[in-house]
Structure formats: structure tokens, C-alpha cells
Chains A and B, each alone.
Chain A
Amino acid sequence: MRNTDRRSFLKIAGISIGAGALYRVAPLLGAGREGAGLSRALREANGEPLRPFSFVQLSDTHVGFEGPPDPLGTRAFERAVETINALPEPPELILFTGDLTHDTEDRREHAARLKRFREIAGKLSVQAIHCVPGEHDAALDGGALFRESLGPTSYSFDHRGVHFVGLDNVSRGKPEIGKEQLAWLERDLSRFGPSAPIVVFTHRPLFDLKPEWEWFTDDGDAVMNLLARFENVTVLYGHIHRADHRRIGRADHHAARSLVFAFPDPESGAEKKPLPFRKERPFANLGIRRIAAPGAPGALSIDDVELSAAEFSGTAGIQQLLKGGSFA
């Protein structure tokens, strides 16, 4: 699909999405010498006035996934939409870090799942939605249907002085960015000075988190080398279905919670098996991470919020949640 089509989706969607992470970008103009320096650098970089704003990362909804280990299907995604819409300060953007849909070889069914994703996401009250694919969206057809439905699989844009870069590390089938996209990224970053804040969003981690679980990007080092000269780099990703933060060099890498089953801690020695579903806490480990940066760049505070299911407690509530279904 062409860019114009993606823009029309953004218009239909109204504003942004949420669940995974909420980021607040600070009013840097009043943040002292360091903040003022960054402010100046940003104006020089892209000419945009700095204004505080917040955005949300949403990840791994797997629309179309059914059955164990998570009988809720899209319920957590729908719940996340309600949660975001109820935020006292609406986020301006939603970054969607892949696996919007669950894979199927049936092209019509895959198109239906993408349509369903757009229907749910379209209920969000945000200014814009930006998506990158996960392997379940794009690896089987090289991203063709994703592009047709949602637009390019990699791109960049500026928002209130922050440069956002969406990278595709799934469409080639292998966990890699590829030389062509790396060359594009190098050109894309060339106009920015070292203090420009860069937010990269992608599906798989750009470092070796756990290669034996396929939690890596083979040429992720090449991406981070291109970003090494920048002082303010945040990488947001999904794929691992759990919250995680690592500071590597000068970059912060944040994984968001998923909206279907969670995976275990990669350092626990456990097998890569989804955590079991819990009737008493149907949204356990699924939810929103809010991140605020009230001061100078780098001073982020993280607030992980599990999706609430209080009104769904008890047998009657669970039955309501499942709309008449029953847990296995």
C-alpha cells in the first residue's frame, strides 16, 4: 500500500493507541544547561519547536490468535484501547512494535486479521498510529500484505523535535535488517547532530538478548554502530512478550509487554514456553508501561501497569470477559 493509504488510516484512527509503554517527552527548554543545549540541537536538526508530549508503545496483539495458552484472544488488546482512551493526558502517538496479527498462509484470512486489527486500533483516541511489522505479520510474504494494509515496513518521521525511526527486521524471513535498509538508515540519520534525540522502534531486539530463543537481530550491531554517535538513543521493541530494559553503550533498549501470553525471564533458565494462563488474573503480565522524562534527557522514570481486570473477577466476570466462552 502507498503512503497515502497509511495516512488515511491514521486519519481514520483519530489519534494514537496504547498499551505497552507510555513515554513522556519533557519540556527540555526549561531543563537547565543540558536541556537547553539539546533544545538548540533539535531546532538545528529539524526546525521543529520543542513541546512536551507523551506517546505509547503497543506490541504483540496477535489478532487472530486463538486457543491455549491464552483463551482471551483480542480481549487484552481491546482492554488496552479502553485503558489508553481513559488516560487523563491522551498520548499523541502510538508506536506499534509488531506482531499485530497472528500468521496464516491463507491470504484472505490474513487480510481479515489486518482489517480486524485496524478496527480495534481505530477506536483509539490519538493523533497518529505508526506500525512496524513482526514476523507473524510479514515474514511469510515478505511484508506484501502489511504494506498493502498499513504502509511501509520501515520509515522515519519527526515529532516535536524527536526523530523516530521504524525499522523492519522481520520481512526478510531471517532476523536481519539487510544492507539496503542499513544504507537508508545511514542516509536518514546523516542530517542530525549528536545530541538529537532518536527513538528507534522495531520488532526484534537489536542486540543478542537470547539468540537461542531467536531474541536477536543478526545485523543489529550494524544498526547500533550507525547510532553510536548519538547521545540520546532509545530503542523500543516487542517480540519477547515481557517488559525488559537494558542499557548498552549509550542506548536504552526497552521491550514492551505483549497483549497475549507472556514469556518467561530469559535469564531464569526456564524453557521458552508461554507463562500459564491464570483464571484469577486473566491479564497477568499484559499491559502498559508508562515512561516519563520530566527532566533532562535520559532521566526516564518507568511505570509498568498491568491491565486491570477487577471488574472481571469471579466466574460471572470471567464469563463476561470471554463473552460466553469458558476456560480450558
Chain B
Amino acid sequence: MSIARFVSCTAVTAALLASASVRRASADAPAPRVVEVTARRFEFTPAAIRLRKGETVTLRLRTLDVRHGLFSRPLGIDAEFEPGAARDVTITPRETGTFVVICDRFCGSGHGNMKIAVVVE
């Protein structure tokens, strides 16, 4: 075995071990907190959500009427969800502040002010 191949195999083995370690840690970690979010024209419930910086949270999205969207570039949210099926979006806010999360799938007059204030502390 050449030195180059030995190094390569060693690196792969280390990566696999690291990967397994990550998987174990992930399996052992507590499940993210779930925040239920319900949408209907032209409001989200709740209209405000408080999160902690660095906390991983799953937003469970449901709609009571038509298809809606959920969008925030700073929080990394870009989702659509439709009647009859919940959609999970998991985020880990990295910055504190108040972020306006909008419905970005046009759902009729009033859509333009359909939003959630997400406060990250």
C-alpha cells in the first residue's frame, strides 16, 4: 500500500467513525421542541413566537383552508404546506432579534399582511 493510499484509507475510516459518532449523539439528543403553527386566511396562530438563540425548534405547519407559504430569509425558512398534511420545518436561530416571517404564497386579499413575529432571545 502506498503512503498516499494509506493516508486516504485512514482519512476515510476516521470520517466514518466520526459520522457514526455524530449519528449516536444525534439519536441520543432530545427531540427538538415542536411549535404548532396554524394558518388560515389571513392570519397565523400564534401570531408571535419566542425562541432561544441556538435552540433547535420544529415548526409544525398546518393550514385550515388553502395552501400557504412560510418564508424568512434570515431564519432560513422557505416552505409551502397544504390542507390535509402537516409540514415540519426545523430551524436553529443563530441571531437574536425580532424577525417577521411571512406567508409568501399568495392566498387572496389580505395575504400581504399575513405574518408571524418570531422573537429570538
A residues apposed to B, CB below 8 Å: 102-103, 105, 135-136, 139-140, 170, 173-175, 208, 211-214, 218, 272
B111 CB contacts on chain A under 8 angstroms:
135
Could you tell me which residues of chain B, from 82 to 113, have a CB within 8 Å of some CB in chain A?
99-100, 102, 104-106, 108-109, 111-113
Q: Which residues of A contact B112 (CB under 8 A)?
A: 213-214, 272
- Name the prevailing secondary structure of the A interface residues: loop
Question: At the interface, yes or no: B43 with Cβ under 8 Å from chain A?
Answer: no
Q: Which of B9-17, B30-38, B55-63, B67-75 contacts A (4 or more CB under 8 A)?
A: B67-75
- Excluding A174-B104, A211-B72, A214-B102, 6 further A-B contacts by CB distance (< 8 Å) are A103-B106, A135-B106, A135-B111, A173-B106, A213-B112, A272-B112
A174 & B69 in contact (Cβ 8 Å cutoff): yes
With known contacts A102-B109, A211-B73, A174–B80 Cβ distance under 8 A: yes
**By the criterion CB–CB under 8 Å, are B113 and A174 in contact?**
no
A218 touches B100 (CB 8 A): no
Nearest chain A CB to B31 CB, angstrom units: 30
CA distance A272 to B115 in the complex (A): 11
Residues of A within 8 A of B106 (CB): 103, 135-136, 139-140, 170, 173
List 6 A-B pairs, Cβ < 8 Å: A140-B106, A212-B102, A212-B115, A214-B102, A214-B112, A218-B71
Can you name the residue of chain B whose Cβ is closest to the Cβ of A208? B73
CA distance A136 to B110 in the complex (A): 11
- Bound Cα distance A173, B104 (Å): 8
Q: Which residues of B contact A102 (CB under 8 A)?
A: 109
Q: A321: shortest Cβ distance to chain B, in Å?
A: 24
A103 in contact with B104 given A173-B67, A218-B78 (CB within 8 Å): no
Is A175 touching B104 in the complex (CB atoms < 8 A)?
yes
Distance between B27 CB and nearest chain A CB, rounded to angstroms: 34
Whether A214 touches B108, Cβ cut-off 8 Å, given contacts A173-B67, A174-B69, A208-B73, is: no
Chain A residues, Cβ within 8 Å of B113? 272
B105 partner, pick from A105, A136, A173, beta carbons under 8 A:
A173
Residues of B within 8 A of A105 (CB): 108
A102 to chain B, nearest CB (A): 7
Please name all residues of chain A whose beta carbon is closer than 8 Å to the beta carbon of B67 when the two chains form the complex.
173
How far apart are the CA atoms of A170 and B102 in the complex, in Å?
A: 16
- How many angstroms between the C-alpha atoms of A105 and B106 in the bound complex? 12
CB within 8 Å for A174 and B100 given contacts A212-B115, A272-B112, A272-B113: no
Give B115's nearest chain A residue, CB to CB: A212
Cβ–Cβ contact A174 & B108, under 8 A = no
Residues of chain B lying within 8 A (CB to CB) of residue A208: 73
Flag if A140 contacts B108 (CB, 8 Å).
yes
